[in-house]
Amino acid sequence: MRSCRLQAVILYLLVLLLPTQNRQPQQKISRFQTTAKQQECDKLVAPLQISFLLYFFNGRKAAASLESAHPLSQVLGMKDGMILKDMSSMKTVDSKTPQETSWGAPMVWGDSHNSVWRRAKLSERGIRVGLLTLVVGTYARFVRRFLYSAENHFLPGQMVTYYILTDNPRTLDPPVELGPGRQMKVLLAAELPGWDRLAYRRMVLFAEALWGSIGKEVNYIFCADIDQEFVGPVGEEILGDLVATLHPEFFEMPRNNFPYEDQEESSACVEEDEGDYYYTSEFYGGVVSQMRRLVRECSLLILQDEANKVMAKGLEESYLNRYLIDHRPTCVLSPEYSWWDSPLTAHVPKKRLVSLGRQCEAYDIEKRELQRC
């Protein structure tokens, strides 16, 4: 049976083969593993790859509506605010909150003893953290609420830099007043209309930013959707080498209900025997070196699918999940760190980061109008 990842392997090897011709013939390298020598080459090659990706995507046009729903709504069969109600019965009854994954990574619940210990351990260190987000088109209406809420709840007492990728810098006028040790940097991005366009461009833009000056300015970087609001404390417990957040609508569901990509033609394809959790693309991060690797590899997978005229159903989230299957995160955040109210979302002890965009998608048409979604 043909492996759905074969094409991704071929693409990746073709892209990286040139700087690694002196490899030993018998040396086996997995899909994304790199040798120490290759890592040195990557430092020179990666910026060129990113430039190529930007050129490729900038030269293509894709028409899409800003009003289109998030792709996962389409995957789940949600139309006009209607949810597949029968899926809510698939939740497990176990009320215990797991503290660790099967591979030993901590599963973070903000008020657990482990999180209290991690905050105490890391809070006194001089940690520099970046929060990277994309603000284009009508999403500009969310930026101030996002920043004000982050100032109140995101890593209080730590040095934080907000990196705002935007097509309209005037969105930030007048500038939001920030606390001591916190700053904001605005990075110009070309206009990206609609979800389809964002799916092909956002990872590439993030990759360009991380291979630029950001990598020298912070120790950790987190990527977040702008249509979110911090509603509870988010502290040092979230820090790790590679951090992923559990999708609240699939946290307590069996593996066969995860909306992994199943098109064999897609480089995001996941086999039936793969995958432990389904992660959201609303909030993820880690140390700069790990995040550079993540956004670059996801960009390459997206590039291959775009060239083959294939689109993963979950868009960016599909590629992120493909990557996190191959590179299990060292820290897994519970749905407390990405939550919205719907018949499918898991119960959490405390809400900390709420997706306003996906919350609106969970409403019916009447409630959407009432809430001015």
Binding-site members are 139, 225-227, 247, 317
Q: Are strands 128-135 and 220-224 parallel, antiparallel or unpaired?
A: parallel
8 Å CB contact between 288 and 242: no
Residue 332 tokens read as 């897994």
Residue among 147, 225, 239 at smallest CA distance from 185: 147
**Cβ(248)–Cβ(338) under 8 Å?**
yes
C-alpha 156/C-alpha 180 separation (Å) is 10
Structure tokens belonging to residue 52: 């190529």
In 3-state terms, what secondary structure has residue 239? coil
- Amino acid symbol at 312: A
3-state secondary structure of 227: coil
Angstrom distance (rounded) from CA 29 to CA 10:
13
**Which tokens go with 197?**
């366009």
The whole-angstrom separation of Cα 286 and Cα 265 is 30
Residue that has been written with the tokens 């609420």 in this structure: 145
Closest CA to 260 of 301, 195, 321: 321
Contacts of 371 (CB under 8 A, 6+ apart): 360, 363
Asked whether the beta carbons of 202 and 195 are under 8 A apart, the reply is: no
Distance in angstroms (rounded) separating the CA atoms of residues 252 and 353: 19
Q: Is the peptide bond before 106 cis (omega within 30 degrees of 0)?
A: no
- Give 256's DSSP letter: G
Classify residue 309 by its DSSP letter.
T
CB 293 within 8 A of CB 33: no
- Who's near 101: CB < 8 A, 6+ residues apart? 107, 276, 277, 328, 332
Residues with a known catalytic role: 317
